[in-house]
Amino acid sequence: MLSLVARVMVVLVFAPMAAAVASDAPLDLESAWSLASCVASDVASRTAEVAAARRDMDRAQYDPLVAPLERLQLENTLASSEAALAAAERAAEREAFEAYANVLERGDAMREAVMRAEIAAAQLAAAQVRFEAGVITGLALEEARSDAEAASRAARDAVTADELAWIDLAAVVGLNVDALRDRGLEDVPDELPAVPELARDLEALASLHVGIAAAERALTLATIRLQGVDHQGSSPNAIDDARAALASAERRLEDVVRSAAQSLRSANQSLLVAYGRVQDASVADAAAAATLDAQRVRNLAGELAPIAWMQAQFDRSRSASSLRASVHAAWHAWFRYEQIKSGH
């Protein structure tokens, strides 16, 4: 059985299969990708274009009146259509990932906002008691009340943002939002793919990048067209134009190769940074977990104020959210690297 990372890579490389069957189980990322590709209108239109280009190509194979150059042009049209379909599928997957991760992150933000509001409310209650005892001024009490009201508003806004995130994801994957919320979501896998080998990918870039492949096909066509007009039956201007077109195609190929290599190096650097941030967030989260364990012992022993215990829980929740967000960012950086490598 493929590992989770391997299955994710398969989903990125190959077109998604049929939409996932409706289920009461939480929606996972692979199912979201598959559903999004099936729902996306651009994927449907690009699929139709590929089918039409393939029909034209098949017909040309058996038509004796079709010249070899025309067949080559049809092959290029089919290849371009297939590349456009792959790009549409990748775009649908990117949109699904962003909407999926946004739901998880907005959920974290909502829970933290609610916890912050609860802490502020407890602090206001304590301030009221202290004010009545003459320990603090009325100004300090009003500041505590203002903080509590602001935290309450932030919690309401976070709830609204969470609801909107679910609506966005439901639209992307084509599911009913209430049914989707009832199912819930699996976490994005925290098992990240291995760091790509940049040198190997740069060496293989010409065979992986659709933009380079398209530029190479254009160069082949320009070469054949020059060969077809470079004779005494053609005008000097026609020959010059064909030579200029060939030179332009050569420059275009060089530009695409250089740009693709530069973009891949940049994406690799971003990927390394994102992976490093996951490691940092993981260390911070482990420290926060240990701190919470210590505070739990103190709380059970009666040595911790209730508000301090609430704050400790909040701090632990925030570190976990930061780790989750860093994992999402690392996955996004890896997607970007793979997409740049393929030119989609």
CA distance 33 to 89: 9
Please give the single-letter amino acid code of residue 61: Q
pLDDT of 6 higher than 50: no
> Quick one: what percent of the chain has pLDDT higher than 90?
70
> Taking residues 221-237, what's their average pLDDT?
88
pLDDT of 311 higher than 90: yes
pTM of the model: 0.81
Please state the domain extents for the chain.
Answer: 197-213+255-344
> Which pLDDT does position 231 carry in this prediction?
86
Question: ∠ CA 279-311-152 to the nearest 5 degrees?
Answer: 110
pLDDT grade for 7, boundaries at 50, 70 and 90: very low
- Kindly report the average pLDDT of the chain as a whole number: 89
> Which pLDDT does position 23 carry in this prediction?
59
> Taking residues 215-225, what's their average pLDDT?
90
